[in-house]
Amino acid sequence: MDLHGKVAVVTGSGRGLGLGYARALAAAGASVVVNDLDPGAVDAAVEAIAKDGGAATGVAAEVGGTETAELLVETAVRAYTRIDVLITNAGILRDRVLWKMTDDDFDAVVRVHLRGTFTCARAAAVRMREQGDGGRLILVGSPAGQRGNFGQTNYAAAKAGIAAMARTWAMELARSRITVNAVVPVAATEMTRTIPAFAPLIEEAERTGQPLPARLRRDAGLGTVEDVTGLITFLASDAAADITGQAIGVGGDRLALWSHPAEKTVAFADGGWTAEAIAAAWPSGVGAEPETYGIPAV
């Protein structure tokens, strides 16, 4: 994939998956704006990209509010004259079960993930529409947002909202030739340590120095950061110009298209449904095969 001439902003790219995305885009030829709350992480990321022969500049700021979103876009335009790609990767965790989660726990995660995706996408969309030649919004989701995850009310809700925003913005921005997709990455990072099914497997691989077993790479789609970056580069490229409104999973040896929420089973009753009629029909009708939830154990 050749991204020369394109300019990308990657939020939360001082470390982890975000850094992997930024380095992969730069390696493909894009100029990159790196963002992180930690100025040291920003400087290190810019230096690493430059050492590899790429072009990058950095913005140390907290994602969430409009001021940071507009600063990121302004920095891209000032440094490289335009913006073509936005990856909304910034995120934090405040994991607690429902009865122990505080207002601050909930609001902090929603502000960075959900509001931060909204404000950054809005700022990027305004500029891309002004430029008049399309663009790419790549929103980072999570398996937790697709299926739920124990102890992650705030995170799962925000990530589910991000997938919904991708579908909505794909419609709103279609005439401007701006594609909008959600990616659902799975990789061995600090974030995936919060998933009970994955944490011990990641720790064991790190302790022994052995790669993750093929079973995990294929069945669970769990691999390295590098296993995920190819999807980001592809979606940023001209080859993905016709792909929009999708939620695409990637990790390990696995690439997947997530389904949209849809009615699974429908039943009808002339004149409508009473509570008693629902109770009688549920076990053998609409409720005969209830949906599963939660990230499956591996």
Q: Contact at 8 Å (CB) between 77 and 135?
A: no
For residue 117, the 8-state DSSP code is H
For the cut 80, the answer to whether the pLDDT of residue 163 exceeds it is yes
Residue 266 falls inside a structural domain: no
Look at the chain and report how many structural domains it folds into.
Answer: 1
Residue 275 falls inside a structural domain: no
Average pLDDT over residues 269-281: 97
For the cut 70, the answer to whether the pLDDT of residue 103 exceeds it is yes
Residue 298 falls inside a structural domain: no
Residue 285 falls inside a structural domain: no
pLDDT at 65 (0 to 100): 98
Kindly state the tokens that stand for 139: 């929103």
pLDDT band at 259 (very low <50, low <70, confident <90, very high): very high
Residue 62 structural domain? 7-257
pLDDT band at 200 (very low <50, low <70, confident <90, very high): confident
For the cut 70, the answer to whether the pLDDT of residue 196 exceeds it is no
Q: Is 155 an active-site residue?
A: yes
CA atoms within 13 A on the CB side of 115: 16
Residue 17 falls inside a structural domain: yes
Question: What mean pLDDT, rounded, does the chain reach?
Answer: 94
Residue 70 falls inside a structural domain: yes
Residue 170 falls inside a structural domain: yes
CATH number, domain of 164, equals: 3.40.50.720
Residue 262 falls inside a structural domain: no
Query: What would the DSSP string read from start to end of 154-174?
Result: HHHHHHHHHHHHHHHHHHHTG
Say which residues have a Cβ less than 8 Å from residue 247's Cβ, sequence separation at least 6: 141, 146, 163, 166, 181, 182, 183, 184, 257, 258, 260
When mean pLDDT is compared across 21-25, 195-199, 293-297, the lowest value belongs to 195-199
Choosing from 21, 80, 155, 293, the catalytic residue is 155
pLDDT at 197 (0 to 100): 66
For the cut 80, the answer to whether the pLDDT of residue 255 exceeds it is yes
Instruction: Name the pTM for this structure.
Output: 0.94
Average pLDDT over residues 183-206: 76
For the cut 90, the answer to whether the pLDDT of residue 158 exceeds it is yes
